[in-house]
Amino acid sequence: MSSNPDPLRIDAATGADVSLILTLIRELADYERMADQVVATEADIRCALFGERPCAEAAIARAGAEAVGFALFFQSFSTFVGRPGLYLEDLYVRPAHRGRGIGRRLLAHLARIAVERDCGRFEWSVLDWNELAIASYRRAGAVPMDEWTVYRLTGEPLRALAAEATAP
């Protein structure tokens, strides 16, 4: 009986993975046709994931020593459920490794974390055109929240609204 020389494993990211994570973020952005929107630096990623007040976590999928994908996630909260949730910000599998169940394994890994942390929800967003991802998510039992629309403030509109707040 032969064994797979490069079994897949999923590890929690460490500070040594910062450069790799940023590379994977850039690859994902390129795939999503948003490469021009990546302004994050290694210092930003290090601070967000491993700084004094980490606000996100990452898991790295590896086949042997090779990083083949990642998931970046953070805790959210549901006032209606009264419990924390897990929000998947990014999931990416490198093209040469797609179709092998790695994305599903990353999702399952995060689902396990959500259950272990007693989360009431595990949520994420997907681009409307990403039909392969949508089909995969549906196969996992995820349902679209079609009645919800995501809103976002960035840049000057964010600063303008913040300026309306009165100082304490």
Site of tokens 């999928």? 61
Q: Among all residues, which ones are annotated catalytic?
A: 137
Rounded CA separation 51/19 (Å): 15
Q: Distance (Å, rounded) from C-alpha 47 to C-alpha 128?
A: 31
For 35, list phi and psi in degrees, rounded to 5.
-55, -35
What backbone phi and psi angles, to 5 degrees, belong to 77?
A: -150, 135
Euclidean distance between the first and the last CA atom of the chain, given in angstroms as a whole number = 69
Identity (one letter) of the amino acid at 23?
T
